[in-house]
Amino acid sequence: MARSTHFTIFVVFILCLIIPVTYSLPFIVLHGISDKCSSRGGAKFTKLLSNWSGSQGYCVEIGDGSWDSWFMPLHEQTKIACDKVKSMSELSDGYNLVSLSQGSLIGRGIVEFCEGGPPVKNFISLAGIHAGEASVPLCTTTFICILADFIMELGIYSKYVQDISAYLKGCEFLPQINNEIAGKRNSTYKERFASLENLVLIMFEQDTVLIPKETAWFGYYPDGSFDVILPAQQTPLYTEDWIGLKTLDEAGKVKFINVSGGHLDISQSDMKKYIVPYLTDEASSQLTTRAESSSSHRWLSSMWNFFMKLGGSKEDQLLLSIVY
């Protein structure tokens, strides 16, 4: 009997060694302005990332999507997003966050402001408006221009008027999330942001929606000038480490990625190269000890990619149209 028990234990031990044991962190997607989770591009974006990474993805919608992305204050949008991630049991052990354009501000709001929320491990930002916006976004039609002017007048995240005192007084969201207000800087915001395992900042080389496009890397114009663009490392936000960006960068946790294309025009190959690695088991290995071999999820993802190619799917097909 003793031999049989020992043999059973030995077999179970061997099986534990050879059978892959993996756990992929889930991820959420936060879309940009004028978009919604049910849009064709956004839904496909989330689905493909799930298929390639083997991780479950969720697009988190705020209000009715498109309309509220324009007119709902960003503090309110952030609170709704915070409440949603706290209510999702799937995220309780932590999750990764993928954000598009304005969604990057909501994502940072979740990281910095969301009290008692599950931890964000990897933050992937595509064309984020991190340092502000110096133009009227998407002003291609009269109706859009009226909406855009309204947004700019609200001072949500604009530094269009190059008067730093007026900006700090009138802008309601960006100065707080960037910890810019002297005497009111919150060490908790910095601590939470600096706790990220990876921060991936993707800038689009031909982006004409974000002015300057370097805002995706926390770069911006110096106060009172449009002649030069300061890289992130030369801004006070970085040098004085208001939100922990310098801390992350010096630890090798910030990835500054430049891809070809207009605003959010990302190809499938660039998605696989620059986003998927931060959604897989390997990128989240600190959560738990696991085998490094391929899992059933990974095998299924490989088969999916094989049949997609067999069916004529183009690797560099652009997924997201020009949405802010």
Whether 207 is a known active-site residue: answer yes
CA distance 63 to 35: 12
- The token pair at 116 is 């008692």
Query: Which one of 207, 265, 270, 281 is the catalytic residue?
Result: 207
Quick check: bond before 175 cis, omega within 30?
A: no
First-residue to last-residue Cα distance in the chain: 69
Rounded to an integer, what distance in angstroms lies between the CA atom of residue 76 and that of residue 275?
28
Please compute Rg for the chain using Cα positions: 21
Give pairs for 216-221: CB < 8 Å, separation 24+: 216/125, 216/126, 216/127, 216/128, 216/129, 216/130, 217/130, 217/256, 218/130, 218/131, 218/245, 219/131, 220/131, 220/132, 220/134, 220/159, 221/134, 221/159, 221/162
Residue 222: φ, ψ to 5°: -70, 155
Catalytic residue among 31, 263, 270, 284: 263
**Are 151 and 160 contacting, i.e. CB atoms less than 8 angstroms apart?**
no
| Residue in 24, 34, 53, 101 annotated catalytic | 101
Instruction: Name the burial class of residue 183, with classes exposed (0-12), middle (13-18) and buried (19+) by CB atoms within 10 angstroms of its CB.
Output: exposed
> Would you say 259 and 274 are in contact if contact means Cβ atoms under 8 Å apart?
yes
Measured in degrees and rounded to the nearest 5, phi and psi for residue 195 equal -85, -5
101 annotated active-site: yes
3-state secondary structure 182-230: CCCCCHHHHHHHHCCCEEEEEEECCCCCCCCHHHHHCCECCCCCCCCCE
Catalytic machinery residues: 101, 207, 263
